[in-house]
Amino acid sequence: MTALTEGGRVGPGKPKVGWMCSRHSFRRELFFARQRTLPTVVTLATLLPMGRLLLQSIMQDSRHADRLYSRPEAFNHKYDFIIVGAGSAGCVLAARLSEIAGWRVLLLEAGGTPPPESYVPGLVGLGYFRGNNNWRYITQPQKYGLKNYHNRQAAIPHARVVGGGSTTNGMVYVRGNRRDYDHWAALGNPGWDYHNVLHYFKVSEDYRGHTDNYTDRFHSRGGPLGVTPEPKTGKLARGFLQAGNELGFRVVDPNAADQIGFAMPEYNVCDGIRCSTAWAYLRPAATRPNLHILHSAHVLKILFNKYKKATGVMYKYRGQVRRSHSHLLTFMS
Ligand SMILES: Cc1cc2nc3c(=O)[nH]c(=O)nc-3n(C[C@H](O)[C@H](O)[C@H](O)COP(=O)(O)OP(=O)(O)OC[C@H]3O[C@@H](n4cnc5c(N)ncnc54)[C@H](O)[C@@H]3O)c2cc1C
């Protein structure tokens, strides 16, 4: 196991501003200063802002993201549901819950809006740059591992942005193995068996590939989440699949019946754009009057009543500490 440290984290209790600027934070800054190689410095400081300007001029959605994901200017303090984190899961939750017009939903995200480069599948690696829309986690110095790392510590990317991991990750669409779901159901979690879950995978999916008699019942079209099979079938890819064939493995669809074999990946990409959950779910829901979204709002504390039920959150937004309360549920997504 690898333990994580995160110098800027504010734990439960009152905001620990003093602690944030302390020895811990200083060590983290020192770590990042030492890790910054020349290409990273040049890219982050000069090329990235220039590239962002260029992309923003082309991509309308990225230009309007700040307004879209920061609504409304004046918000209430009482909601039916509060969701902490507009990540992969949080965006879906917010969009689905706010389909019920009578429910008021608040979605709070510590990070900012998706940067222009996150929309472009080919620029996927930029999301892994330390400090670029992530929490800048580093491991504790390792006793046995990371021997060629400075101080035996490594950076671990973890998204801090609207869309969460789905805005910065590798976009590979993998549903997982049927046996895991069936096992969870067998442990006493009704509804988690593969047959049941497959229904939801299909409802959410807009599959852009070809299916055959064998794979058709695992995919569907028209859902919010775009899924596109690897478009490149170059020499190397064909050689890879053929090599598997020669070893006696079939070419399979990784999200269909059989996962033992060789496959080309499927990606959360739609019409050439990263299909994050912010794009697929939150964007179409963002203008609903019953959904309030605040990015750059760091939740500091979950508030509990005397029965130990979560009743709301305390969070920092634009330099002010605020509270919001939920009638029904507070989710940590
Ligand atoms: C480098 C990398 C590559 C990956 N590649 C793939 C891939 O190709 N395919 C794949 O399926 N999976 C991939 N993953 C994993 C996948 O992205 C995650 O499993 C998934 O995003 C987790 O979703 P989540 O909703 O649980 O959390 P997240 O998406 O991480 O969302 C959590 C959100 O909560 C916010 N938050 C946290 N604390 C607070 C707070 N106190 N106040 C307010 N907001 C807060 C965070 O900023 C974040 O936006 C990858 C992960 C990484 C790190």
Phi, psi angle pair for 102, to nearest 5°? -80, -10
Please work out whether the CB of residue 313 comes within 6 Å of at least one atom of ligand 1: no
Contact by Cβ (8 Å): 44, 129? yes
**Rounded alpha-carbon distances, angstroms, from residue 68 to 61, 284, 292:** 9, 10, 10
Most informative mutation of 88, 124, 225 for ligand 1 (most atoms within 8 A of CB): 88
Calculate how far, in angstroms, residue 157's C-alpha sits from the geometric centre of ligand 1.
Answer: 9
CA-nearest residue, atom 49 of ligand 1: 164
Calculate how far, in angstroms, residue 158's C-alpha sits from the geometric centre of ligand 1.
Answer: 6
Q: Which helix (H) or strand (E) holds 105?
A: strand 105-108
Q: pLDDT tens string for the chain (333 positions)?
A: 334 433 333 333 333 332 333 455 555 555 555 555 666 667 677 778 888 888 887 777 777 787 788 766 666 789 999 999 999 999 999 999 999 999 999 999 999 999 999 999 998 888 777 667 999 899 999 999 999 998 999 988 899 999 999 999 999 999 999 999 999 999 999 999 999 999 999 999 999 999 999 899 999 999 999 999 987 778 999 999 999 999 999 999 999 998 899 999 999 999 999 999 999 999 999 999 999 999 999 999 999 999 999 999 999 999 999 999 998 887 877
Please work out whether the CB of residue 84 comes within 6 Å of at least one atom of ligand 1: yes
The SS3 call for residue 80 is: strand
